[in-house]
Amino acid sequence: MDFPCLWLGLLLPLVAALDFNYHHQEGMEEFLKTVARNYSSITHLHSIGKSVKGRNLWVLVVGRFPKAHRIGIPEFKYVANMHGDETVGRELLLHLIDYLVTSDGRDPEITNLINSTRIHIMPSMNPDGFEAVKKPDCYYSNGRENYNQYDLNRNFPDAFEFNNVSRQPETVAVMKWLKTETFVLSANLHGGALVASYPFDNGVQATGALLSRSLTPDDDVFQYLAHTYASRNINMKKGDQCKNKMNFPNGVTNGYSWYPLQGGMQDYNYVWAQCFEITLELSCCKYPREEKLPFFWNSNKASLIEYMKQVHLGVKGQVFDQSENPLPNVIVEVQDRKHICPYRTNKFGEYYLLLLPGSYIINVTVPGHDPHLTKVIIPEKSQNFSALKKDIRLPFQGQLDSIPVSNPSCPMVPLYRNLPSHSAATKPSLFLFLVTLLHIFFK
């Protein structure tokens, strides 16, 4: 037996190197299925639904325990190709998958990320639109919308005004998916500009709309997240690389400051799914030539990896009663940054709060009991691929069947519509912005 050849075969990747071409549905499915088959111990491939034309909406999960949620392991996701003619993100996510699975056990950073995170990757939310593009164009192609001619990034419930559009199969599939997982952090990948955009995309006076911005109660965290991505992309951080586009200082913008958008996915994630999401515009040209794809991968690789690591910001834990029973559907919020739809524990009694280093008071609220306050201090240097762990034990015997869990989410109506005009979110955020930059450059 030729032992050198045998060892060489064992060392070669299990998946042939992914080429830098556009992969249509058949080629994308073949790649995803091959990865799932050859790396079955760290991947799980499933479809969350179908497009209007019946194409699968594939999601590949990468993690040490890919098939089911594990307590203490946060859920992260990337979604691309909402607009079928914005193609760079779709290919970058395929290459990210390839990089993750082939680096496991070889690259300590990637191995630690896979050990500590459940990473969900959806390369295409709008496969019908992608397949409909016959003449690729930098600015607009027929495949932007789904097969029914709906813009999927205007198709979600809106927290600021009624969005009376026909909810599309792709949108419904994503909304159902968000209910099945405890997503903590996310990004959706687009094209046509070069900027990291953070919520809100829509707004009212209470969120700062009169000042041409719309800020969340977690504005400091969102600015930090956007800068984390943009600062590692040499062209994005310049802020002025696209002709006939706005200049974006440091490659970052508040979504509403750029232009108001109704029914967007990132606002929906933040308000109703308890998931911090930003929008990444990755290329001035929506559908660039294939020979440009290696350039986009090299420009975004470090940002994609570093952004995923931010799912471990802040604090996480479980809420128990005095008999150590985990309590689901309990409100867990930080004082002075309450969400319009309160963030709650999942069915395992878990909570995840993305926070920058500092001192915070966590307010735990159970129906029929006084609020329980707990002080936490998030250290300057985060722990190794883990948020600060803080379990909370409440001084009473919980009656699990008395805590309503059947439909804990807020109604999908414009929750901000009747909010008073004054809000902490409208206060000047210069201090928060400076803190953000310090964390980026001195971490």
Q: Which residues are catalytic?
A: 281
Question: Which residues are CB-contacts of 184 (< 8 A; sequence separation ≥ 6)?
Answer: 74, 75, 76, 274, 275, 276, 311, 352, 354
Question: Alpha helix locations (H) across 330-384?
Answer: none
- For residue 330, the tally of other CB atoms under 10 A from its CB is 28
SS3 of 197, please?
A: strand
Using a 10 angstrom Cβ sphere, with 0-12 exposed, 13-18 middle and 19 or more buried, the burial of residue 414 is middle
Which structure tokens are listed for 414? 């414009």
Rounded CA separation 73/69 (Å): 7
Question: Alpha helix locations (H) across 104-197?
Answer: 108-116, 127-132, 169-180
Residue 82 identity: M
- Strand pairing report for 183-190 and 75-80: parallel
Measured between its terminal Cα atoms, the distance across the chain in Å is: 52
Rounded CA separation 439/424 (Å): 22
Q: Are 260 and 160 in contact (CB under 8 A)?
A: no
